[in-house]
Amino acid sequence: MKNINILKPNKDNFRTYLFIGITLVFLGVFDVFLRSFFMVNFLSFLPNLLNFLLPFILGLVGLQMIRLEYSGVKLVDTVNKNINNNIFNAGLTLFIIFITILALPPSLNWMIFDANISGDTKEACVAVEGACWTYIKVWLRRFMYGMYPNEFHWRINTAFIILISFAFVGFFAKGKFKNYLTFYYAIIYPIIAFLIIYFLISGGSFGLEWVETNAWGGLSLTFIVSFFGLIFCFPLGMIFALGRRSELPVIRYISIGYIEFWRGVPLITVLFMSSVMFPMFLPADTFVDKLVRVVAAIVLFEAAYVAEVIRGGLQALPRGQYDAAKSLGMGYWKMQTFVILPQALKLVIPGIANTFLALVKDTPLIFVVGLSEVVGMLQMAKTNPKWLGYAMEGYIFAAVLFWAICYAMSRYSQYLELKYKTDR
């Protein structure tokens, strides 16, 4: 017999090795499972360190024993290739499996089995060890609508439903109307949106009571701010992207200065500027609403980022496209609208989507000027003397909420990217 290595299987004795190896791995995982779920440690007679490390060692030896290329068993081959291709990866695999098993019971207990969602007061949660979802339930309206009066919440809902239905017009447009869609989305839709939000949510006419913007808040405010941010920063960014690529030096340098300035400062200082410095720059008696100032600041700020993304797309287009358009006798604007921008924008869909995601994630910063959307409302609820001590539940709720919104957005952008992908 040459070179016997008891840890290395070969084709002849693979069945035996497979059996022993799987048993060892199973023993290791089972031991951790018992420790984690049932607090039983049947190896407690061993010395401390060995007792602690034993499942890991068992698993490692077991995985080592079943590692054989082209063993003939399909499942084993898949396992070996994906999680067990060398000893380092086997160790990491075991580590991740054990951590998951160990972390599962406490987190599940906290979130589901020991949690409470019944009742309407804090008293319902006093005896509860896990999460107190009652807190979220009681405050849900505040998290969604801020301090907006309860009896008027239908106004916000209606406004959003109308806005969404107007946004879907594009899907039903046929024939001749399709040509005007860009015009509709770029100019008419923002105006409609502004009017709806102004008359329905803000109120003050048509018998609707006036609700000042300070009372707006929660998720609806997040949507309003990001919505206006999105529709206004896009055209502005496009202008500055074109400006930066312009042949006219004055326009180019102004665009460069604008873009580099806004990209160099943090949003929080821009918001500071809009709240404390901007009023100084206006004629003495003019008053611009806080929300309008905030949205303007966000638009100016994000437009610089959008401009840089679009510039990337413009630069990626081959020179021939410009030459071809010019040789057809197109002027500057005709060339940009019909030849260059449609192609460039298609290229930068992922970049634009990332900028928009950043915008949505930046909306919580409006707390610096005293407006509170979801995160701001959380801070308010957290310090409410009746509901002290439930910060964790609130943050997890908001994190899941934002994660869902952003994840949906990024998925949608991937879909768009595929839809508009044209092979060259």
Partner 1 sequence: MTNKQKKILPQIFTLLLIILIFGFFTINAQMNMSNRGIDFGYGFLSQESSFDVQFSLIEYDGSHSYARAYLVGLLNTILVSVLGIIFCTILGVVVGIARLSPNYLIRTTASWYVEFFRNVPLLLQIFFWYYAALRALPLPENTEPLFGVTYLTVKGYYMPGFIWENFNILMYSILAAIISIVVIRSHAKKIQEERGKQLPVFFISIGLLIVLPALTIITGIVQVEVELPILKQLSKTSFIYEGGVSVPPELIALVLALSLYTATFVAECVRAGIQGISKGQKEAAASVGLTPNQILKLVIMPQALRIIIPPTTNQYLNLTKNSSLAAAIAYPDLVLVFAGTALMQTGRAIEIVSITMLTYLTLSLSISVLMNWYNKKIAIKEK
Specify which residues 217 forms β-bridges with. 372
Nearest CB to partner 1, comparing residues 51 and 246: 246
Q: Which of 396, 378, 400 is nearest to 387 (CA)?
A: 378
116/275 with CB nearer partner 1: 275
Strand (E) or helix (H) holding 406: helix 391-419
Nearer to partner 1, 10 or 82 (CB): 82
In the complex with partner 1, the residue whose CB is nearer, 139 or 402, is 402
Q: Judged by CB under 8 A, does residue 357 bind partner 1? A: yes
CB of 100 or CB of 118, closer to partner 1: 100
Residue 50 interacting with partner 1 (CB under 8 A): no
Q: With contact defined as beta carbons under 8 Å apart, do 115 and 130 qualify? A: yes
Interface stretch with partner 1, choices 62-70, 76-84, 137-145, 166-174 (CB under 8 A): 76-84
Q: Please report how close the Cβ of residue 226 comes to partner 1 at its closest, in angstroms.
A: 11
Q: Exposure of 280 by Cβ count < 10 A (0-12 exposed, 13-18 middle, 19+ buried)?
A: exposed
Which two structure tokens, joined as six digits, stand for 155?
């106004």
Q: Count the Cβ atoms, other than its own, within 10 Å of residue 148.
A: 21
**Among the residue ranges 40-48, 90-98, 225-233, 322-330, the one whose residues contact partner 1 (CB under 8 A):** 90-98
Question: What is the smallest separation between the CB atom of 378 and partner 1, expressed in angstroms?
Answer: 7
Taking the complex as a whole, how short is the minimal distance between the CB of residue 146 and partner 1, in angstroms? Answer: 17
* Amino acid identity for residue 188 in this structure: I
Are 225 and 298 contacting, i.e. CB atoms less than 8 angstroms apart?
yes
Q: What's the Cα-to-Cα distance from 242 to each of 58, 362, 401, rounded to whole Å?
A: 64, 26, 36
223 binds partner 1 (CB under 8 A): no
Which positions from 363 through 422 interact with partner 1, judged by CB under 8 A? 363-365, 367-368, 375, 378-379, 382, 391-392, 395, 398-399, 402-403, 406-407, 410
Considering beta carbons, is residue 11 or 81 the nearer one to partner 1?
81
Residue 93 binding partner 1, by CB under 8 A: yes
Please provide the DSSP assignment of 166-180 as one string: HHTHHHH--GGGGGG
Q: Exposure string (b/e) for 42-64, b if CB count within 10 Å is 16 or more?
A: eeeeeeeeeeeebbbebbbbbbb
Comparing CB distances to partner 1, the nearer of 189 and 393 is 393
Between 189 and 387, whose beta carbon lies closer to partner 1?
387
Burial of 190: CB neighbours in 10 Å, binned 0-12, 13-18, 19+: middle
CB of 223 to partner 1, least distance (A): 14
Per-residue string for binding with partner 1, 242-281, x by CB under 8 A?
-----xxxxx--x-----xx-xxxxxxxx-xx--xx-xxx
Pick between residue 335 and residue 398 the one whose CB is nearest to partner 1. Answer: 398
Amino acid at position 354, single letter? N
Please name the residue that has the structure tokens 């791995």.
Answer: 25
Residue 254 beta carbon to partner 1: minimum distance, rounded to whole angstroms: 6
Report the candidate in 421, 396, 408, 297 with the shortest Cα–Cα distance to residue 357.
Answer: 408
Q: At what angle do helices 374-382 and 133-145 cross, to 10 degrees?
A: 130
Q: Are 237 and 304 spatial neighbours (Cβ–Cβ below 8 Å)?
A: yes
Q: Quote the least distance from Cβ 217 to partner 1, whole Å.
A: 15
Cα 295 to its chain centre, rounded Å, is 20
Which of positions 94-133 make contact with partner 1 (CB under 8 A)? Answer: 96-97
Closer Cβ to partner 1, 202 or 226, answer by number:
226
What are the b/e assignments for 12-38, b being 16+ CB within 10 Å? eebeebbeebeebbeebbebbbbbbee
- Residue 20 found at the interface with partner 1 (CB under 8 A): no
* Chain residues that interact with partner 1, rule: CB under 8 A: 81-83, 85, 89, 92-93, 96-97, 247-251, 254, 260-261, 263-270, 272-273, 276-277, 279-284, 357, 361-365, 367-368, 375, 378-379, 382, 391-392, 395, 398-399, 402-403, 406-407, 410
